[in-house]
Amino acid sequence: MAFLPALVLLLHLLAPVLAGLPDKIYGVNLGSWLVLEAWMLPAEWLAMGGDNCADCSQCIGSEFAFAQAYPDTVDATFKGHWESWFNQPDVDKIAAAGINTVRIPLGYWIVEPLVDRSTEYYPRGGLQQLQRGLQQLKDAGISAILDHHALPGVQTAGQQFTGRCTSDVEFYTDYNYHRALIWTAVMTTLSHLDPAFESVIAIEAVNEPIMDATQTPGYGDFQQNFVKVVRAVELILGLPVPGVQLDVPVTTANFTHAVESVCGATQLADVFTPEVIKTLLDAVPVLLELAPQLAVAALFDTALPAAPCNAKHEPLVTNFMDVNWQYNSPPNPADAALGPQGYDNHLYYSFGGVADPNPDAYMTSICNLNRVQSDAALGNSPLWFGEWGLPVQFNTTDAFLTMWADAQKLAYAQGKGWIFWNFKVEESALAGDLAREWSYFKGLELGFLTQDPSQVHNASVCAPYVNSTAAA
């Protein structure tokens, strides 16, 4: 019987390692850090030299417009923003709030060799900031989801969160899908070989693609390729991929060299498709350029095949917006899964179209939400709510915002959990009341959010609103 405690101990030790994701995600987004959205920091943006205007394509209203307007100073200006918007005091506050996960919105331009500088303008130096922030998060025991939030070519029109406000949406093309895949190969490699990236548990393929699937041609193929690129890198690193064995030996500890030799010899056509091979080979010079900047010696000395540098030895979770994000016969990302995968849904009531603009309608809607169930029916499980907040379309009381926070947390915890948008927003005269409904730190301060994120003020908050028809 001495066997039993030993087994229990072993399982206990293995459980957090094998899980990858926390049991329940209690998270915040690190929005406006490496992808800046001026509406969240209006006074700082003006002070930097940006403009606030109603149509962000008509002024210096995005990172792209800013970098185009200030080519000589953009990098230094953004360095100042990156270092002040998210740094150790923020990590300390996030940790003190019991948050176990952050979602980090990133632009494709953080992998600088992917930017065509003749037509595309973005600040430089973000990757070192990401490395710095991930190290701080790792030291605090907080997991990170790398979220490809702003895609090459722009994935949706007229939004600051894509880095460029434009109606010229070009992401859904072979050229830009390919650039996004190179980005994915680079991030997967760094996540496994740069010790600072050990906090990374997942990579999200595309934030908020266009909802009408007829306008996103090729997105289903991209989903397949995204997963294959992640798993191809992991196979070369000797990580386990369910049901798949690399068919050629890796005989060098130099990762980029291993990529070249495996891509030249493998017959594992299910994973190493021509597009995946092209992606990995195109990622090699990018990695060779980045490795000295990031001081990732492990790229050239991974002690393969026995052990990749990253101590965790676990495959990343591939992450997509859920199938129900889109309509008009969308591709189902569940069809692309190979190894651990998770799904993301975003829910904001303040933009309209979800419920009538009054407190009772909001509560009736959230208390009868069935997105976790309807996603699970399509294989999109586990599901978490990677963006939500407290904003509403009406003037409201503190008492309602407290109920509103509780009800949303209860709804989202029926799935894998939640990630609030945003960890903070600017507090200034210009920003007005913005923080009250959009800032996790402010919501804690005002008491809408509980100090322990797993708790709510009132577990029965939904009782009067649960619709017996929907519940049955």
Residue 199 beta carbon to ligand NAG: minimum distance, rounded to whole angstroms:
26
Report how far residue 418's alpha carbon sits from residue 369's, in angstroms, rounded to the nearest whole number: 14
Report how far residue 9's alpha carbon sits from residue 433's, in angstroms, rounded to the nearest whole number: 50
Q: Looking at 58, 242, 464, 466, which residue binds ligand NAG (CB under 6 A)?
A: 464
The residues facing 278 across adjacent strands are none
Close Cβ partners of 416 (under 8 Å, ≥ 6 residues apart): 21, 24, 25, 342, 382, 383, 384
Asked if residue 98 binds ligand NAG (CB under 6 A), the reply is no
Residue number with CB closer to ligand NAG (76 or 466):
466
Q: Looking at 368, 374, 381, 428, which residue binds ligand NAG (CB under 6 A)?
A: 368
Residue 334 beta carbon to ligand NAG: minimum distance, rounded to whole angstroms:
24
Window contacting ligand NAG (CB under 6 A); options: 68-76, 83-91, 253-261, 445-453: 253-261
* 333 contacts 323 by C-beta, under 8 angstroms: yes
Helix (H, G, I), strand (E, B) or coil at 356: coil
Residue number with CB closer to ligand NAG (124 or 257):
257
Residue 119 beta carbon to ligand NAG: minimum distance, rounded to whole angstroms:
29
CB atoms under 10 Å from CB of 229, counted, come to 30
CB atoms under 10 Å from CB of 269, counted, come to 11
Residue number with CB closer to ligand NAG (98 or 292):
292
Residue number with CB closer to ligand NAG (431 or 461):
461
Asked if residue 461 binds ligand NAG (CB under 6 A), the reply is yes
Residue 361 beta carbon to ligand NAG: minimum distance, rounded to whole angstroms:
9
Window contacting ligand NAG (CB under 6 A); options: 11-19, 158-166, 256-264, 348-356: 256-264
Residue number with CB closer to ligand NAG (263 or 419):
263
Close Cβ partners of 109 (under 8 Å, ≥ 6 residues apart): 63, 115, 120, 122, 123, 126, 150, 163
Residue 206 beta carbon to ligand NAG: minimum distance, rounded to whole angstroms:
29
Residue number with CB closer to ligand NAG (259 or 425):
259
Residues in the interface with ligand NAG (CB under 6 A) total 19
Q: Rule CB under 6 A: which of 440-459 touch ligand NAG?
A: 458
Q: Looking at 79, 93, 132, 257, which residue binds ligand NAG (CB under 6 A)?
A: 257
* 190 contacts 130 by C-beta, under 8 angstroms: no
Q: Looking at 2, 4, 54, 463, which residue binds ligand NAG (CB under 6 A)?
A: 463
The CB-side HSE value for 181 (13 A sphere, CA atoms) comes to 30
Residue 117: C-alpha distances to residues 165, 213, 243 (Å): 18, 30, 42
Helix (H, G, I), strand (E, B) or coil at 365: helix
Residue number with CB closer to ligand NAG (424 or 436):
436
> Which position has the token pair 């200034």?
428
Residue 344 beta carbon to ligand NAG: minimum distance, rounded to whole angstroms:
23
Q: Rule CB under 6 A: which of 370-409 touch ligand NAG?
A: 394-395
The residues facing 296 across adjacent strands are none
Q: Rule CB under 6 A: which of 296-335 touch ligand NAG?
A: 300
Question: What is the distance in angstroms between the CA of the first residue and the CA of the last residue of the chain?
Answer: 46
Close Cβ partners of 365 (under 8 Å, ≥ 6 residues apart): 349, 354, 355
Tokens of 452: 């322990």
Residue number with CB closer to ligand NAG (17 or 288):
288
Asked if residue 472 binds ligand NAG (CB under 6 A), the reply is no
Report how far residue 250's alpha carbon sits from residue 384's, in angstroms, rounded to the nearest whole number: 37
Note the residues at the interface with ligand NAG (CB under 6 A): 254, 256-257, 260, 284, 288, 300, 364, 368, 394-395, 458, 460-461, 463-464, 467, 469-470
